[in-house]
Amino acid sequence: MKIQHVVVLGAGFGGLSAVQQLARHRDVRVTLIDRNNYHLFQPLLYQVAIAGLEAPQIAWPVRAMLRRYPNTRFLMGDVQSIDLIDRRVWVDGKAVSYDHLIVAAGTTSHDYGIPGVRENAIPLKSLADAIRIRDRIFSAVEEAVRTADEERRRALLTFVVVGGGPTGVELIGALAELNQHVLARDYPEIAPDEVQLVLLEAAERPLNYLSPEASEYTRQALQKMGVRVMTSSAVSEVTPFGVYLQDGRFMPTYTVVWTAGVKGVPLPGLPSGRSGRIPTTEFLSLPEAPEVYIVGDLNGLEENGSVFPQVAPLAKQQGAWAARNILRCLRGERELPFRYRDKGNLVTIGRNRAIGEVKGLRFSGTLAWLVWLAVHIYYLTGLRNRLMVLSNWIYSYFTYDFAVRVIHQRHQFAYPESVTESQPAEAAVSR
């Protein structure tokens, strides 16, 4: 039998899971393509943003991961388009032919067409984003120490996270700990209560995909940590000097982190559905091209009228499932419809604070926090990274210190004539 060439786009959870399934079979040749030469453990990206971890500690070289698979090669490059008719992927101007294709390209930040988000808010989807956020935070604090303008100082020391999902909750909780345990000691010129931390969520409660009890626990835990949780607060515009809400209020700030949503990475040649997610058959393949499989955050398959959640466990399961269906096709067997095994949800809020919901069981506090730690260490790629992250966490836990407080590129903050010049004073968010 002719050796089949399977091309996998994306070295995230879904893509790597597919490669690991396929690479064990001699009758398959695999090419993994990604714009980066590393696999990024995105669940811990927020810790790079708040100086808790170094960037290399949550990334692992793809080629090092593929050493054990002699029939697998890696190609670093940007995918420009996909030709479904001739079965080719165009990468940096060159064509890569395939017999089967698995698309696991992931998502990018979704601004929902809100003015100013793309230009003035920082997403949290890449290592570059995380380092940019960290630089902005520490640049803002350094600038606040120097300025004699009280209004500017308040805006510099106000940090807004938009989006009350797991990324937003974990980021704002980590920022609260950074303020309490690090900034308070490093910057004696700034009182801890001068730093304003705000979580904006358009829905009625944070973590609204969890139970109301879990959302309320999260709200109370964040408030005890000094975070202002503003629900039912949709953003209408982000400017270089603050955030406008749909009810007309204005919040002066120089740092806005956008975690409010994601959309599929557009790939010319592929169909696209709502929020960039691609509808597929129950086998995870395209109806018009059954040799092409869509897995992970890009997959738009519905179950009981709803699309699947865009989470790492789903991506891993779909990647492995698509690979197994390809192998079944090669053996002349029928493909199997995808079945998702929901492993539950874990969200950390801060030290000894987390929430977990697994198969109807709800738990919170220290137990949930310890489970969260164990799960993330277990799934982190590379023994070296596991040891380094664990040692960093132990160090931070006992010293109340975040070790990576280095500004790579100092941010220069603009000087407006008046931050609220076009907004009545009574409409400003009270502090």
Q: Which residues are catalytic?
A: 170
Q: Which amino acid is at 4?
A: Q
Q: Are 218 and 169 in contact (CB under 8 A)?
A: yes
- d(C-alpha 342, C-alpha 334), whole Å: 25
**Which residues, other chains included, contact 313 with Cβ-Cβ below 8 Å and sequence gap of 6+?**
341, 342, 343
- The helix or strand, by DSSP H or E, that contains position 212, with its residue range, turns out to be helix 212-224
Name residue, tokens 């001699």: 26
**Residues 340 and 321: beta-carbon distance below 8 Å:** no
Question: What tokens does 92 get?
Answer: 């940096």
Rg (CA), the chain: 23
Q: Sheet harboring 79-83: ordered strands across? A: 79-83, 88-91, 94-97
CA nearest to 19, candidates 11, 289, 27, 285 = 11
Write the burial class of residue 189 (CB in 10 Å: 0-12 exposed, 13-18 middle, 19+ buried).
exposed
Answer yes or no: are the C-beta atoms of 53 and 44 closer than 8 Å.
yes
Give Cβ neighbours of residue 191 (< 8 Å, ≥ 6 apart): none
